[in-house]
Amino acid sequence: MGSLNATAPLDAAVALPGSTSLRGNPTVGPATRPDASGTKTVLGFSPDMSKNFGGCFDIKERLGVGTTGAVCHIVEKKTGKSFAVKVIKRSSLPKIHHKRILLEASIMKKVSYLDHVVTLHGLLADQNSFYLVQDLGRGGDLCSHLMRHRRAYSEERAKAIAIKLFTTMRELHQRNIIHRDIKLDNIVLSDPQDDTSVLLADFGLAAILPRRGYATRKCGSPLYCAPEVMGSRPYGNAVDMWSIGIVLFMLLSLRRPFVASSVSELYQKISDGAQVKFEGSPWDTVSKEAKECIRGLLTADPHERWTAEQALRSPWIVGAARVESQAR
Ligand SMILES: Nc1ncnc2c1ncn2[C@@H]1O[C@H](COP(=O)(O)OP(=O)(O)OP(=O)(O)O)[C@@H](O)[C@H]1O
Ligand SMILES: [Mg+2]
């Protein structure tokens, strides 16, 4: 086992049951019940039972499989337009999970106007399944992209992604929405020719925090979980900023910042406040501003951790690009 702060290649980190080693799966803390705070948003959002999914869409290739279901490319018969659909079988879920799906759809709908979030076009349901019809990420997810190309991002391209994620987080967090599962697998590329065309997907663990409130459910993907989640402490939107820190570290280096031989060891290390280190290649050529930003995001104390606003005002980002306006 390496030292507490050793870095390791993306595929040399913890082995997780049921997942390939490059992936951030599985998500821990399956959605057993929606946070009480989010239940309200379910009211007034119901699936469209009038449309027959099979009558409206042709199913093409499978794009991915997650803990809740498969995601496929679909084509609308009437228009020939492509979408992605997440199919969640009713039989695979206890009743309580049905509310969770309505919450996922409801939160996606609330943030669908943002430029770098997968737009939800509709929630259909029949006796067998729920169908979340959404924007198609034609370039696949970032994890698959990195695995395919085996090439780290240049600092400039990683920065372009960072700006999009920070801007999206600023909007989400202003609305008291936390994503809770930001990871390479849940970020898709809208354009296969542009490796910075990111869209945030999978709002399956997202929640709405009560004003000044905290969440308590231990959930997320172990490799991306903030220390306060791992330590079972109440937490707020800072958990998303930690996860973005992990994403940026991996984009720039193809390595993981924290390495362990098991999930419990990883929990222990991160709960104990392991510090990120930038050793060896490519960190010798990465700017100190980029490292400062990642360090700000991977700060163990959530009160000290950089917020989206702070990150957007950081030397790494300021002057790099005009902060995008998110409104479509
Ligand atoms: N809109 C999309 N366009 C293209 N591919 C997608 C899209 N949404 C999801 N995928 C692919 O499908 C995979 C699983 O989707 P998603 O993350 O929504 O499912 P999940 O069951 O919630 O997963 P998890 O294991 O993270 O809980 C993603 O990792 C990605 O590869
Ligand atoms: Mg996912």
Q: Is the pLDDT of residue 190 over 60?
A: yes
What pLDDT sits at residue 211? 75
Instruction: Calculate how far, in angstroms, residue 212's C-alpha sits from the geometric centre of ligand 1.
Output: 30
Options 35, 135, 141, 181, the catalytic residue? 181
For residues 124 and 13, the model is more confident at: 124
The answer to whether the predicted template modeling score (pTM) of the entire model surpasses 0.85 is yes
What pLDDT sits at residue 31? 38
**Which tokens go with 213?**
């409130």
3-state helix, strand, coil in the chain (%, to 5): 35, 15, 50
Q: Name the percent of the chain lying above pLDDT 90.
A: 66
- Largest Cα–Cα separation, the chain: 58
Instruction: Calculate how far, in angstroms, residue 26's C-alpha sits from the geometric centre of ligand 1.
Output: 12
**Which tokens go with 266?**
């990883």
Instruction: Calculate how far, in angstroms, residue 316's C-alpha sits from the geometric centre of ligand 1.
Output: 30
**Which tokens go with 178?**
């936390």
Q: Which of 176, 177, 219 is nearest to 26 (CA)?
A: 219
Nearest ligand to the CA atom of 200: 1
For residues 66 and 313, the model is more confident at: 313
| Ligand 1 atom 19 nearest Cα | 66
Q: Is the pLDDT of residue 122 over 90?
A: yes
- Determine the straight-line distance between the first and last CA of the chain, rounded to whole angstroms: 48
**Quick one: pLDDT band at residue 90, thresholds 50, 70, 90?**
confident
State the closest ligand 1 atom to the C-alpha of 136, by its place in the atom list counted from 1.
Answer: 3
Q: Is the pLDDT of residue 153 over 80?
A: yes
**Quick one: pLDDT band at residue 328, thresholds 50, 70, 90?**
very low
State the closest ligand 1 atom to the C-alpha of 118, by its place in the atom list counted from 1.
Answer: 1
Instruction: Calculate how far, in angstroms, residue 70's C-alpha sits from the geometric centre of ligand 2.
Output: 10
Nearest ligand to the CA atom of 19: 1
- Determine how many CB atoms are found less than 10 A away from the CB of residue 17: 7
Q: What is the mean pLDDT of residues 67-85?
A: 94
Alpha helices in 62-150 (DSSP H): 95-111, 142-149
State the closest ligand 1 atom to the C-alpha of 134, by its place in the atom list counted from 1.
Answer: 1
Q: What is the pLDDT of residues 205-260, one digit of tens each?
A: 999 998 778 999 999 999 999 999 988 899 999 999 999 999 999 999 999 999 88
Q: Is the pLDDT of residue 1 over 80?
A: no
Q: What is the mean pLDDT of residues 112-119?
A: 96
Q: What is the mean pLDDT of residues 171-199?
A: 97
Q: What is the mean pLDDT of residues 274-287?
A: 93
Nearest ligand to the CA atom of 64: 1
Q: What is the mean pLDDT of residues 319-326?
A: 52
Q: Is the pLDDT of residue 182 over 60?
A: yes
Q: What is the mean pLDDT of residues 310-327?
A: 74
State the closest ligand 1 atom to the C-alpha of 26, by its place in the atom list counted from 1.
Answer: 25
Of the residues 202, 224, 243, which should be mutated to test ligand 1's pocket, given the most ligand atoms within 8 Å of the CB? 202
Cα(197)–Cα(220) distance, integer angstroms: 24
CA 103 → CA 38, 202, 278, 315, distances in Å? 7, 12, 39, 37
Q: Which residues belong to the annotated binding site for ATP?
A: 86
Which architecture does CATH list for 23-134? 2-Layer Sandwich (3.30)
On whether the CB atoms of residues 145 and 151 are closer than 8 A, the answer is: no
Domain locations in the chain? 23-134, 142-327
Task: Decide: 67 in ligand 1 pocket, CB within 6 A.
Answer: yes
What pLDDT sits at residue 48? 73
Q: What is the mean pLDDT of the chain?
A: 85
Residue partners of 264: CB distance under 8 A and separation at least 6: none
Cα(34)–Cα(41) distance, integer angstroms: 11
**Quick one: pLDDT band at residue 270, thresholds 50, 70, 90?**
confident
Q: Is the pLDDT of residue 98 over 50?
A: yes
């939160």: which residue's tokens? 107
Cα(233)–Cα(239) distance, integer angstroms: 11
Of the residues 138, 188, 203, 243, which should be mutated to test ligand 1's pocket, given the most ligand atoms within 8 Å of the CB? 188
Distance of CA 198 to the CA centre of its chain: 11
Q: Which residues belong to the annotated binding site?
A: 86
CA triplet 154, 256, 229: central angle to 5 degrees?
Answer: 120
Q: What is the mean pLDDT of residues 136-152?
A: 96
Q: What is the pLDDT of residues 295-307, one digit of tens each?
A: 999 999 999 999 9
Q: What is the pLDDT of residues 20-50, one digit of tens each?
A: 334 665 565 543 333 333 323 333 356 776 6
CA 170 → CA 28, 56, 177, 201, 216, distances in Å? 25, 36, 10, 16, 21
CA triplet 5, 10, 12: central angle to 5 degrees?
Answer: 75
Q: What is the mean pLDDT of residues 257-264?
A: 89
Task: Decide: 28 in ligand 1 pocket, CB within 6 A.
Answer: no
181 flagged as catalytic: yes
Q: Is the pLDDT of residue 119 over 90?
A: yes
Q: Is the pLDDT of residue 17 over 70?
A: no
Beta bridge pairs of residue 70 = 65, 87
Beta-sheet strands, E only, within the chain: 8-9, 57-65, 70-76, 82-89, 120-125, 129-134, 177-178, 187-189, 198-200, 207-208, 255-256
| Ligand 1 atom 27 nearest Cα | 67
CATH number of 142-327: 1.10.510.10
